[in-house]
Structure 1
Amino acid sequence: MDLPVMPPVKPMLAKTAAKIPAGMQYEAKWDGFRAIAFRDGDEIELGSRTGKPLTRYFPELVPALRANVPPRCVLDGEIVIARDGLLDFDALLERIHPADSRVRMLAETTPAAFVAFDLLALGDDDLMGRSTAERRDALAAALRDTAPPVYLAPATRDVELAREWFARFEGAGLDGVIAKPLNVPYRPDERLMVKVKHERTADCVLAGYRQHKSGPVVGSLLLGLYDGAGRLQHVGVCASFPMRRREELVAELEPLRMESAEGHPWAAWQDEEAHTRGRMPGAPSRWTGTKDLSWVPLRPERVCEVAYDHMQGDRFRHTTQFRRWRPDRDPASCTYAQLEEPVSYDLREVLAPPDELPE
Structure 2
Amino acid sequence: MDLPVMPPVKPMLAKSVARIPPDMHYEAKWDGFRAIVFRDGAEVEIGSRTGKPLTRYFPELVEALRERLPERCVMDGEIVIAREGRLDFDALTERIHPADSRVRMLAEKTPASFVAFDLLALADESLLDVPLGDRRALLVMALSGVTAPVHVAPATTDREVAQRWFEQYEGAGLDGVIAKPLTQPYLQDERAMFKIKHERTADVVVAGYRFHKSGPIVGSLLLGLYDDGGTLQHVGVSAAFPMKRRAELVEELEPLRMEDVEQHPWAAWADEAAHETARLPGAPSRWSSKKDLSWVPVRPERVAEVAYDHMENGVRFRHTARFRRWRPDRTAESCTYGQLEEPVGYDLAEIFGPQD
Task: Please classify the TM superposition score into its range, dividing by the shorter chain length.
Answer: over 0.9
For residues 276-302 of structure 1, give each alpha carbon's deviation from its aligned partner in whole angstroms, at most 9, with x where no partner exists: 001100000101122100000010001
Q: Does 1:159 align with 2:156?
A: no
Aligned counterpart, 2:78: 78
Aligned counterpart, 2:185: 185
Aligned counterpart, 1:5: 5
Aligned counterpart, 2:338: 337
Pairing 1:119-198 to 2, within 5 Å after superposition: 119-198=119-198
Q: Which moved more, 1:227-236 or 1:345-354?
A: 345-354
Structure 1 residue 241, shift from structure 2 partner: 0.5
Q: Distance in 2 between matches of 1:59 and 1:262?
A: 46
> Which amino acid letter does the alignment assign opposite residue 141 of structure 1?
M
Structure 1 residue 249, shift from structure 2 partner: 0.7
Q: Does 1:98 align with 2:90?
A: no
Q: Distance in 1 between matches of 2:353 and 2:216?
A: 52
Structure 1 residue 169, shift from structure 2 partner: 0.3
TM-score by length of 1: 0.98
> Which amino acid letter does the alignment assign opposite residue 341 of structure 1?
E
Q: Distance in 2 between matches of 1:153 and 1:98?
A: 30
Aligned counterpart, 2:247: 247
Residue 22 of structure 1: SS of its match in structure 2?
A: coil
Structure 1 residue 98, shift from structure 2 partner: 0.7
Residue 318 of structure 1: SS of its match in structure 2?
A: coil
For residues 90-131 of structure 1, give each alpha carbon's deviation from its aligned partner in whole angstroms, at most 9, with x where no partner exists: 111111111110010000000000000000000001001000
Structure 1 residue 67, shift from structure 2 partner: 1.3
Matched residue pairs, number?
354
User: Cα RMSD (Å) of the superposition?
Assistant: 0.8
> Which amino acid letter does the alignment assign opposite residue 333 of structure 1?
S
Q: Distance in 1 between matches of 2:87 and 2:303?
A: 31
Structure 1 residue 132, shift from structure 2 partner: 0.5
Q: Distance in 1 between matches of 2:352 and 2:321?
A: 29
Pairing 1:217-296 to 2, within 5 Å after superposition: 217-296=217-296
Structure 1 residue 310, shift from structure 2 partner: 1.2
Which runs of 5 or more residues in structure 1 are unaligned? 355-359
TM-score by length of 2: 0.99
Structure 1 residue 353, shift from structure 2 partner: 6.0
Which runs of 5 or more residues in structure 2 are unaligned? none
Aligned counterpart, 2:42: 42
For residues 219-248 of structure 1, give each alpha carbon's deviation from its aligned partner in whole angstroms, at most 9, with x where no partner exists: 000000011111111100001100000011
Aligned counterpart, 2:323: 322
Aligned counterpart, 2:300: 300
Q: Distance in 1 between matches of 2:83 and 2:184?
A: 35
> Which amino acid letter does the alignment assign opposite residue 322 of structure 1?
F
Contact persistence 1:68–1:145 (CA under 8 A): no
Q: Does 1:116 align with 2:112?
A: no
State the identity %.
72
Q: Distance in 1 between matches of 2:71 and 2:233?
A: 49
Aligned counterpart, 2:347: 346
> Which amino acid letter does the alignment assign opposite residue 61 of structure 2?
L
Q: Does 1:312 align with 2:312?
A: yes
> Which amino acid letter does the alignment assign opposite residue 258 of structure 2?
M
